[in-house]
């Protein structure tokens, strides 16, 4: 991840999230991607979940930053670990693929470079979450 990726990611997330349908679409894609994922969200208020996700995308972007930011990521990782929600590491790859698919649909300026930027910005946070399973 470099400065240019962060800039591309930031601009793209702004273009996507000014459309309320964006995160709804992501959850529709993600929930349909596997039975396990669908079951995990059986009792979830997806409206509320979508709001939390937007904030957490920024937390992910700051992964590896200073300690205060790392505390949020640590908490998120613990919540998803086997002691709590039990989210298996391989499900994160599905998560990222479906998120990038939603970006492709909602960001009119999305191109290969934008997609790569989303992946490279979110990957360190994902690797951290997986390592804490």
Stretch that binds ligand HEM, among 10-18, 20-28, 101-109, 121-129 (CB under 6 A): 121-129
Residue nearest to ligand HEM (CB): 44
Residue numbers 55-114 binding ligand HEM by CB under 6 A: 56, 60, 76, 79-80, 85, 87, 91-92, 95
Would you count residue 121 as binding ligand HEM (CB under 6 A)?
Answer: no
Residue from 2, 44, 47, 111 binding ligand HEM (CB under 6 A): 44
Would you count residue 1 as binding ligand HEM (CB under 6 A)?
Answer: no
At closest approach, how far in Å is the CB of 50 from ligand HEM?
A: 10
Using CA of residue 35, residue 37, residue 38, residue 43, what is the dihedral sign?
positive
Would you count residue 26 as binding ligand HEM (CB under 6 A)?
Answer: no
Rounded to whole angstroms, the Cα distance separating 45 from 109 reads 30
At closest approach, how far in Å is the CB of 128 from ligand HEM?
A: 9
């Amino acid at each position: 991840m470099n400065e240019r990726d962060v800039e591309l990611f930031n601009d793209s997330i702004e273009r996507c999230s000014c459309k309320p349908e964006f995160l709804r679409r992501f959850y529709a894609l993600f929930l349909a991607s596997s039975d396990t994922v669908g079951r995990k969200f059986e009792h979830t208020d997806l409206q509320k979940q979508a709001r939390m996700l937007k904030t957490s995308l920024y937390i992910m972007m700051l992964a590896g930053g200073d300690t205060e930011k790392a505390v949020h990521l640590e908490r998120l990782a613990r919540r998803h670990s086997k002691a709590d929600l039990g989210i298996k590491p391989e499900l994160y790859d599905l998560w990222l693929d479906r998120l990038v698919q939603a970006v492709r649909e909602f960001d009119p300026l999305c191109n290969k470079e934008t997609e790569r930027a989303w992946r490279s910005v979110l990957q360190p946070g994902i690797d951290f979450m997986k390592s804490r399973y």
